Structure 1
Amino acid sequence: MCVNASVTKNDAAKPSASDIRLVIAASSAGTVFEWYDFFIYGTLASIIGRTFFPSDNATLQVLLVWAGFAVGFGFRPLGAVLFGYLGDKLGRKYTFLVTVTLMGVATAGVGLIPSAATIGLAAPAIVILLRVLQGLALGGEYGGAAIYVAEHAPGGRRGYYTSYIQASVVGGFVLSLIVVLSSKALMSDAVWNDWGWRVPFLVSLALLAISLWMRMKLSESPVFQAMKEEGELAGNPFVESFTYPGNKRRIFIALFGIAAGLTVIWYTAMFSGLSFLKSAMRMEDTLAEVVVGIGATLGMGFFIYFGSLSDRIGRKKPIIIGYAVTLLMLFPTFWLMGAAANPQLAEAAERNPVVVAGPDCNYSPFASEQVSNCGKLLADLAASGVSYSLRDDAVFGMTAGGSAVDLASYPWTDKAAARAKALQSELSAHGYDFAKVQPSLGRIVAVIGALLALMAMSGATYGPVAALLSEMFPPRIRYSSMSIPYHLGTGYFGGFLPLISSYIVARTGDPYAGLWYTWVVVLVALLVAAWGLRPGLPADFTDD
């Protein structure tokens, strides 16, 4: 059990090695389970789309799913305010007991909602409500776990110890893939698509029980305990976060220089990577999930390595280097991944590029049905994952590799699925293969290599961050001051990434175009971090 000896906030009693192991294990396990709950929604995005957000427009269905995903992130800042206040007033331990309970119950609830075909619009409405509760819970979880470990760790090892919290975020994603793949392996396809997909959501109740059992063994943070005994707790942590001298500047740096940048890299590496392989590159779904799971599992080591490295060279250097490498290598890494995952599709797009021309080619990804035939054609291309270029012309038509594609018999009045099948049949004659692919072992290794490169970029920027943010803010308002900018950055810049990038891809017809969102956010983060973060070795908070 953790030490409860009387301490001062500047010279807290040092926990034993066994205490530290329990602190890290319990905090990390809870973080894994809570992020599992959050990521399971994204892992099962396609099933959630057809169950709760059905639409004849396949692109709209995808956007609605990611909009629901973004809603949870959008409420994370409010959770950060609420639970940050409680964490600074009532303590770190009991606050993150509440957050993990709320997350587990909300996640299990998604697995119990009847489909939209059964209860109509109530189904997506309930899903959104539960996503709100998940967002509130996660807004309080990360800050509590990170600070709890940081306040137990010796200064010279804080980056290393807190890096396990950072790696646990990846662990939640990996666990979601493991549970999904295991469930699918134990069921027939019919059972899985009918009701079996609900099992991973219900598993969160078992994970909740384990997490609560582990966290109940913990004592309060020695730093918080010392402040409580000395009567130095904040009167209103939220207000003080914005009135404490110099804290507005620190919050600005934490938001735009740290949270926004690290989050878009991480979500691009995992969520965009998985979606890219399954949709644009048409890799077989289960294989894509296994490949990304392997990449994420191996990549967790980068988070611990860079967290530990930051104890020796400072927090700023790994983050700045990670941002710079991302700007240089983001597009080439995805190009490599695409070429390795489905070389035939990449070669077909290069040899026989699709060009759509016409006088009225307005396309709205948010429309349930397009008005013009050209708009319908663009929607079908986007749904099929075919890149295209668009030009104005008096005559409506489409070419592939310079050869006209026959649109005379195109089923314009049919449903989107039938139109997409007809389109794919036409493009098959021009070298496009729309069957799901299983790359050779060598190419799978290349894809995993590309994912590991992305994970290294993420680890460099994410691994040191829990220690860095804990050290940036005064102890009396640390929970609130750290959680608010972190969850604003991750909630809005990261949470809306799948929606925004999917929209950009749908509008441009370029499966790589969505990466520009990540690139721009990382560029801003690099400039802010280079200006605002202090160089040198790690140091605890000081007022100067």
Structure 2
Amino acid sequence: MNINNNLYIDKKPQSYLKTVLAACFGTFLEWYDFLTFGALAVTFGPLFFPSNDPSASLLPSLATFGVGMIVRPIGAAFFGSLGDRIGRKPVFMITISIMGLATLLVGFLPIYSEIGIWAPILLVSLRILQGFSAGGEIGGGAIFLAEHAGEKNRGFKTSFLQLMGPFGILASTLQITFLQQWLSPEEFQAWGWRIPFFISFLLLLLAIYFRKTLEETPIFEELKTKDLKTEGQLLNNFKDSEIRKRMFLLFFCVSGAGAILFFCAQIYLPIFLKTTVRLSAELVDQLSVLSTLFLVLSIIFAGWLSDQVGRKPIITCGLALGALLILPAFWMIETIGSHLPLTQQDINIIGCIMLGLSLILGLLGGPQAAILTELFPAKSRSSAATFPHNLAAGWIGGMLPFIVAWINHRLTSQVGGLYYPAILLLLACVIAFFWLPETNKEKLEK
């Protein structure tokens, strides 16, 4: 099938910039909503799961956050198939609306002392809706942007979408920190925790406005013009041996490995610095902001570099560096932390290690949106890409904190659990080296 490349290659730069801004803003809102819930897990415990034991109330609150990860693959299967049948843009509008409305309703929820058991039931139900919509958005946004990007510099153009995760973390964390400093603990516990959910509704209105102005991707429009039947059913993808193989490669070597590195560099490391090294929370937050900003630059650079040398070398390099350096990095930090008080040189070394891990994560993140799209044919791309991508986030990324903590406990070590992600990254590196195809020259209309 030949598609008129002018449909997307000759689009004016301003037009593509508008597409990037609208797509990224919506994806940022998805991450902001999704992560704000996790950041407030400690607050939700006594409000929705009251108990005399603080740990007992925290556990169901954290489990409620995990439910969102579990249902993401279900949402990906549903919305991915829908995107292949009715188009990328309609699904874009549906997912952002469900996420935004579910998040707004959390802000209006009565707490346990007001309606009893219905409070946690409603909270879990809204969290399920959040995870369900996120499954269609996270992955679907990459396809939408890539199909608008054309053939030239596709890795660079789509890398900006990968920044929305770090920006979502920063926005939700900084907002909650500001509220906790601005309000008294009693005010925040009574009503202040609702403010982020109300703010998300204003962001939702902006996201819907911007997305309404977007055009359907030229590749899907061509599929409709040619009256080609799209294969939206996920089962059809598993029947095709080549698509099935590529879904596994995406699941394990790209999305799963990216989730592993994201957890190690962005989630576990700050916790490790606060608990094991006993750095002040303020210093850790400052270092985390710097490493996140460096991650932004790393992602954009890796996306651009993947256009020059290929997706496979960049991803394989990131996997190899992650497998080799994750454990030594944490060992070095643990050794530094054993000699208190820390000197400025010690802090500088820790900062450099954080930047190095951010660079490794960037090597996976930069080309991710592009290769996620390029691996699959247009008629089944949405369902074939979004399901393994979100399954990796739920199964590998979602379970990683628990498994690492369990291994640490069994080995009575603060870093022993990191053998698990290091081994997974090593396996992913070997598999990617031998079987991951190079895709940066792929025609997306195929």
TM-score by length of 2: 0.90
Question: Aligned equivalents of 1:250 and 1:542: distance in 2?
Answer: 17
Shift of 1:47: 2.4
Q: Does 1:192 align with 2:95?
A: no
Partner of 2:33: 37
Contact (CA 8 Å) 1:163, 1:304: kept in 2 or not?
yes
Question: Aligned equivalents of 2:164 and 2:407: distance in 1?
Answer: 30
Q: Give the one of 215, 219, 231 matched to 1:219.
A: 215
Q: Choose 1 or 2 for highest CA Rg.
A: 1
Relative to structure 1, the CA distance from residue 254 to residue 536 in structure 2 (aligned partners, 3 Å threshold; closer, same or farther) is closer
Question: Aligned equivalents of 2:286 and 2:393: distance in 1?
Answer: 26
Shift of 1:116: 4.0
Q: Does 1:205 align with 2:201?
A: yes
Contact (CA 8 Å) 1:66, 1:499: kept in 2 or not?
no
Partner of 2:308: 312
Query: Which amino acid in 2 is paired with 1:34?
Result: E
Shift of 1:336: 4.0
Relative to structure 1, the CA distance from residue 68 to residue 315 in structure 2 (aligned partners, 3 Å threshold; closer, same or farther) is same
Partner of 2:264: 268
Q: Give the one of 480, 484, 491 matched to 2:394.
A: 491
Partner of 1:384: none
Question: Aligned equivalents of 1:146 and 1:272: distance in 2?
Answer: 26
Structure 1 runs not aligned, ≥5 long: 1-6, 349-436
Shift of 1:65: 3.8
Relative to structure 1, the CA distance from residue 55 to residue 317 in structure 2 (aligned partners, 3 Å threshold; closer, same or farther) is farther
Relative to structure 1, the CA distance from residue 205 to residue 444 in structure 2 (aligned partners, 3 Å threshold; closer, same or farther) is farther
Question: Aligned equivalents of 2:272 and 2:429: distance in 1?
Answer: 25
Q: Does 1:503 align with 2:397?
A: no
Give CA deviations for 1:174-200 in whole Å, capped at 9, x if unaligned. Answer: 211222223233223432344323322
Contact (CA 8 Å) 2:324, 2:422: kept in 1 or not?
no
More helix by share: 2
Relative to structure 1, the CA distance from residue 137 to residue 542 in structure 2 (aligned partners, 3 Å threshold; closer, same or farther) is closer
Query: Which amino acid in 2 is paired with 1:24?
Result: V
Partner of 2:381: 478
Partner of 2:3: 8
SS at match of 1:191: helix
Question: Aligned equivalents of 1:254 and 1:305: distance in 2?
Answer: 21
Relative to structure 1, the CA distance from residue 521 to residue 41 in structure 2 (aligned partners, 3 Å threshold; closer, same or farther) is farther
Partner of 1:325: 321
Partner of 1:105: 101
Partner of 1:457: 360
Shift of 1:501: 2.6
Stretch of structure 1 that moved more, 204-213 or 8-17? 8-17
Question: Aligned equivalents of 2:298 and 2:288: distance in 1?
Answer: 15
Contact (CA 8 Å) 1:318, 1:461: kept in 2 or not?
yes
Contact (CA 8 Å) 1:39, 1:173: kept in 2 or not?
yes
Q: Give the one of 516, 530, 533 matched to 2:419.
A: 516
Q: Percent identity?
A: 32
Give CA deviations for 1:116-174 in whole Å, capped at 9, x if unaligned. Answer: 45544433333322221111111100222111111111223110011001112221112
Shift of 1:46: 2.7
Partner of 2:87: 91
Aligned pairs (5 A) from 1:301-380? 301-338=297-334, 343=337, 346-347=338-339
Partner of 1:18: 14
SS at match of 2:159: helix
SS at match of 1:156: coil
Contact (CA 8 Å) 2:29, 2:203: kept in 1 or not?
yes
Question: Aligned equivalents of 1:78 and 1:245: distance in 2?
Answer: 22
Question: Aligned equivalents of 1:464 and 1:116: distance in 2?
Answer: 45
Q: Does 1:142 align with 2:45?
A: no
Question: Aligned equivalents of 2:92 and 2:405: distance in 1?
Answer: 33
Shift of 1:212: 1.1
Query: Which amino acid in 2 is paired with 1:138?
Result: A
Question: Aligned equivalents of 1:129 and 1:47: distance in 2?
Answer: 18
Give CA deviations for 1:256-293 in whole Å, capped at 9, x if unaligned. Answer: 22211111111221122233334444444455444323
Contact (CA 8 Å) 1:260, 1:521: kept in 2 or not?
no
Partner of 1:239: 235
Query: Which amino acid in 2 is paired with 1:470?
Result: T
Q: Give the one of 63, 67, 71 matched to 1:75.
A: 71
Aligned pairs (5 A) from 1:123-134? 123-134=119-130
Relative to structure 1, the CA distance from residue 193 to residue 171 in structure 2 (aligned partners, 3 Å threshold; closer, same or farther) is same
Question: Aligned equivalents of 1:46 and 1:200: distance in 2?
Answer: 15
Shift of 1:37: 0.9
Q: CA RMSD in A?
A: 2.7
Question: Aligned equivalents of 2:286 and 2:61: distance in 1?
Answer: 22
Shift of 1:10: 6.1
Partner of 2:173: 177
Q: Does 1:533 align with 2:436?
A: yes
Shift of 1:229: 1.3
Stretch of structure 1 that moved more, 164-173 or 276-285? 276-285
